Amino acid sequence: MAHQKETPRQKLINMMYLVLTAMLALNVSKEVLEGYSTVNDTVLSTNEGYPEKRLMTLDEFQKEFTLNKIEVGPFWNKAKVAMKLSTEMVEYIKNLRDELIATTEKVPLDSARKLNIREMRKKDNYSIPTQIMIGPLENATKGKARELKNKINEYRLKMLNLINPKFRKEIQLGLDTEDKYKDAYGRLESWERHNFYDIPLAADIPILNKFISEVNNAELEVVNGLLRESIAEDFKYDRIEAKVLPKSNYLFTGDNFEAEVIVAAYDTSHSPSPSVYLMKGVDSMSTLQKGQATLVARDKGHLNIKFPTTALGLQKYAGFVSVPTASGRERTYHFNGEYFVAQPVVTVSPTNMNVLYIGVENPLSVAITGVPKENLSPTISAGSIKQDSKTGEWTCTVPSNIKLATVSVSIKSATGLKQIGSQEFRVKKLPDPKPTIANRDNGFVSRENLINAGKIVPLMPADFEFNYTFKVISFRMTMQRGFYTYNYDSSDNELTDEMKEQISKSNRGQVLLFEEILVEGPGNDKRNLPPFFITVK
């Protein structure tokens, strides 16, 4: 087990097993022991997924055997022996597990096979399992654990003997039964006692299921090792793959699709001379379609494919690399891929209006059909442009000394930036706002509404959608009583207390003139707004 190649799932199972074993040694409660049921469920789930892995390996082995029965035949026969040995070993462990459950729970064998740990009444019983697995002697020589150990050792030896000695160092079987354990007092302890002495039934079951998992992994190791042996005379490397490395998967009409096809890792002392057969418009390609395919020129194992793009949308291709082996056989390595062809359409428009305004951040909608936002790179001829890291939207600012600005858009690709198009915009100052009070810039307004409103508010034109507000710096309110004219000044946008008092004393029909309205816009842009009249209602 210490030398076995383990998946992250198997490592988790082993860790849970070790933690629960440690908890058991501390004489924890029955409720904690039921945690073994969770470990067991995980191990069983791993074991249930094994047939699919086995089938994938056998399919690959079967393919090699079909290509060359004479050379691969002996290895294929050994693989079948390995599977037979593993099946017998798994069956033995399952029977041992079920007998242990039946004897402890005192139920028929058929019922024991269906019992879940959570359903067991005596899952915390350790005396009966210990009697069965360890036996009457302290050294465990008469118990089922010794028999299991002997069977495991016999199985390991037979499996290793199926592998050529010069390849055995590559095989990691696991199932280690060496006596290298220590008890709570630091004394050496046998494999049998370490795994099964004073261990409750709830723990014995996942331990035995874990051995089944290790047998399954050992079978895969040996069968894969035999597969590697069967092709070792053809190539020095374990695996050869066809790789297609496109320069870009997103193209425009008129571009060429270009890619390099690589036969990865071949022996320099005997360089195979590979050929590439390619078909467009298909998801996959079989060797039977070789006559319909295009043969791609080759050069020392590196092959480049290049063809023009003629249709829009998602395009597919497939093919295979044919490599002759030293024995004269032909090995094929299939590949497929896809790319997208689009008509270059650049969309760059201000989000709010059809112009760019000086001194503010102008939102821009930048897009090219079918190209992700992260692959776009817009620039502006004057000013600056930036992207919001959270929303991905673009904004730009323009200086006051220009009348036109051009936004250009490029696409990021493996070969660098490629400019697709540009658009020119007029640059303008923000329009003047309209000063109001109580939402009016003329007509009748009651004294109460004027006082409650309490300030001058500059409103942008109704057809102006840009989200910006000018700041009122100062204004004057003028009113006439009899033959006298009175002026009242404010240093911000608020009505002063004196202004409010005069409004409260005004009569119906009194005309108020708001004038000398000074506002400030972006970039310290100060403007005087036209006056307006309000009549007290």
Residue 226: Cβ-neighbour burial (10 angstroms; 0-12, 13-18, 19+): buried
Q: Left if phi > 0, otherwise alpha if psi is -120 to 50, otherwise beta: which for 203? A: alpha
Least confident window among 74-88, 155-169, 204-218, 248-262: 248-262
Average pLDDT value for residue range 229-242: 58
Domain extent listing, the chain: 8-231, 242-338, 346-428, 434-536
Within a 10 A sphere around the Cβ of 435, how many other Cβ atoms? Answer: 22
* Residue 531 pLDDT level (bands cut at 50, 70, 90): very high
β-pairing verdict for 250-252 and 330-342: parallel
Q: Helix or strand or coil: residue 508? A: coil
Share of the chain above pLDDT 90, in %: 25
Measured on CA atoms in the order 495, 496, 501, 506, is the torsion positive or negative?
A: negative
Please give the pLDDT value at position 452.
Answer: 94
Largest distance between two CA atoms of the chain: 129
Q: How far is CA 320 from CA 94, 260, 276, 329, in A?
A: 44, 13, 6, 15
Asked, colleague to colleague, whether 242-338 and 346-428 share their fold, the answer is yes
Please give the helix or strand (H or E) that residue 104 lies within, else none: helix 69-105
* Residue 270 pLDDT level (bands cut at 50, 70, 90): very low
Q: What is the CA radius of gyration of the chain?
A: 42
Within a 10 A sphere around the Cβ of 307, how many other Cβ atoms? Answer: 15
463 has pLDDT over 60: yes
Average pLDDT value for residue range 434-459: 94
* Residue 425 pLDDT level (bands cut at 50, 70, 90): very high
Interatomic CA distance for residues 135 and 506, integer angstroms:
113
* Residue 328 pLDDT level (bands cut at 50, 70, 90): low
CATH architecture designation of domain 242-338: Sandwich (2.60)
Which pair of structure tokens corresponds to residue 302? Answer: 């590196």
* Residue 238 pLDDT level (bands cut at 50, 70, 90): very low
Q: How far is CA 290 from CA 71, 273, 390, in A?
A: 25, 17, 50
pLDDT in tens, 241-253: 666 666 665 566 6
Which class is 346-428 in CATH?
mainly beta
* Residue 351 pLDDT level (bands cut at 50, 70, 90): low
Smallest CA-to-CA distance from 448 within 513, 493, 506 is with: 506
Smallest CA-to-CA distance from 529 within 476, 465, 478, 480 is with: 476
pLDDT in tens, 7-55: 666 666 666 666 655 555 444 455 555 666 777 777 777 777 777 788 8
Share of the chain above pLDDT 70, in %: 77
* Residue 353 pLDDT level (bands cut at 50, 70, 90): low
| Bridge partners, 437 (sequence order) | 440
pLDDT in tens, 107-134: 998 888 888 888 888 888 888 988 888 8
pLDDT in tens, 360-412: 888 888 887 767 788 888 999 999 999 988 888 899 999 988 999 999 998 88
